[in-house]
Amino acid sequence: MIKNSIKRRTFIKKTGLLSIPLGLGLYGCQDNKGSAIETDIAIIGSGLSGLNAALTLQAFGYKSTIIEATDRIGGRVYTAKEEDVPGHPELGANGIGGGYGRLLSAATKYGIEIGPMRPRTEPRKGELLYAIYDDLILPDQWKTHPKNPFHLDWAKGMSPTSVPWKVYADTNPLPENDLTAWRDPKFAEWDRSIASVMKEQGFTEEAMKLSVGTNSSYGISADDMSVLNFYQILNFISQQSAAKTGRGGAAIGGNQRIPEAMGNAYTGDIRQNSPVKSISAAKDSVTITLDNDKVVKAKYVIITLPAYALRRVKIDPPLPALQQEGIDELGYTPNAQVHFTVKKNYWEEDGLPPSMWSDKLCGRFMALKNDVDNPEKVTSIVAYVNTNEALKLSKMSEKDAKAIVMKEAEEIRPSLKGALEPVYYWKWSNNPYAGGAYAYWKPGQITKYADQFANPHGRIHFAGEHTAVYFRGMEGAMESGERAASEVMKLVG
């Protein structure tokens, strides 16, 4: 007790929580002989936010139990197995920014080496071909192509996906390097659709459909997304670019090695294959009922689930109406992927770049080079599909999804016939524990819901990337887990 109490006092002193009484002593996690599992702090979800919450608590002497719905840890950090796809590409979180301080520190602490970035949806220089409007177009041909829908001179020569980002940069009202300004009510007027801003800049519906509604990394269409969301993303990118640590990139062996290492460092219990059905909070405890009707009883709970997954969990007493509404309405980016091995070098046969940016169901059709020892070797191909095309694929069987992606790719590029073998299909859309690749904000949602998601509900606390304020992606998840753990430690002393 004394050793752990010192660690707690050190944390509480550093965080200004010394006035909170000590002595609750959150120790012990045991299976009773009955059906109930008793613990002190239950953490629902073993993604980065849940793992960081658990390890933060552990570092200061608190013990917890992690409850995970699936048979793996890492959440949306998910690396394909080498035996499934050569080069083990990332199915989920891909790039690690140089300013991902928490994540990089965890990698160092737990012995995970960070290597170079592994491009996934961005082509390497000189390796891109446009497959648009049933035509194959080289980038230097695009500016004068008769089907180019961009009427503004500056936009004609840019890649379709680059055009809206210049609009965001030119109109961004947020103070540079201010990572919290997107939550400031004085910028609420910008919590409106991308379409409204692009129309003001002179873009047509066709131009917006191609540049925002095709292969977008977020959302579905220009009408579906808040431009304020993208101003925040720009400030985040700027902050990451300014972090000249030289430490960004990707984990050697795959980014999933990081949550695995965090899980190995965690001394508590991780209960996998345990989806949560309901959570009932009383004055002095919380009861969690699993899908198999087993019961977990805890003093406090930290929920790190994506909002989409949380929709299937009944919470009693009910959450405040606005908080529940936000959980029910938050958008999740559609994503489906088909991975291929290469049987012949089709790009040598037709003399065109190996990667394609397509408006077909093959989406961003990218040649991946993930062999560290042979960086010019194409290790696999991924059809990385977002927006409405991903929603279409997600409703199909694995067999049908692979077949239609291959069919459409071969129709637009004949050299692909017989060149590839589809070996793996993955979808984040329709995944009951994810709902999509990651959250995005629809028009009006930041103003209405952003400050609601992380509000504690009695003994129930919330984390997850969508609750982060400063960071996004993997670092945002880490931020949120640390914040939620701090909230609980403040309460228990």
Instruction: Residue 94: name the closest of 364, 361, 326, 329 by CA.
Output: 364
Task: Report the pLDDT value the prediction gives residue 493, as an integer from 0 to 100.
Answer: 79
Contact, 488 vs 300, CB < 8 A? Answer: yes
Task: Report the pLDDT value the prediction gives residue 243, as an integer from 0 to 100.
Answer: 76
Task: Report the pLDDT value the prediction gives residue 318, as an integer from 0 to 100.
Answer: 98
- Between CA 156 and CA 165 the distance in angstroms is 14
Task: Report the pLDDT value the prediction gives residue 322, as an integer from 0 to 100.
Answer: 98
Burial class (CB in 10 A: 0-12, 13-18, 19+), 32: exposed
Task: Report the pLDDT value the prediction gives residue 242, as an integer from 0 to 100.
Answer: 78
DSSP output for 138-167: -HHHHTT-TT----SHHHHTS-TTHHHHHH
Task: Name the 3-class secondary structure at 226.
Answer: strand
Task: Report the pLDDT value the prediction gives residue 16, as an integer from 0 to 100.
Answer: 38
Task: Report the pLDDT value the prediction gives residue 82, as an integer from 0 to 100.
Answer: 97
- Between CA 487 and CA 2 the distance in angstroms is 22
Can you list the residues of the chain whose pLDDT is less than 70? 1-34, 244-246
Instruction: Residue 485: name the closest of 64, 38, 73 by CA.
Output: 64
Instruction: Residue 219: name the closest of 333, 308, 121 by CA.
Output: 333
Instruction: Write the pLDDT tens digit of every residue in 25-53.
Output: 333 344 444 578 999 999 999 999 999 99
Its pTM stands at 0.92
Instruction: Write the pLDDT tens digit of every residue in 330-381.
Output: 999 999 999 999 999 999 999 999 999 999 999 999 999 999 899 999 999 9
Task: Report the pLDDT value the prediction gives residue 153, as an integer from 0 to 100.
Answer: 92
DSSP β-bridge partners for residue 295: 36, 289
Task: Report the pLDDT value the prediction gives residue 10, as an integer from 0 to 100.
Answer: 40
Task: Report the pLDDT value the prediction gives residue 2, as an integer from 0 to 100.
Answer: 26
Q: Which amino acid is at 358?
A: S
Task: Report the pLDDT value the prediction gives residue 34, as an integer from 0 to 100.
Answer: 54
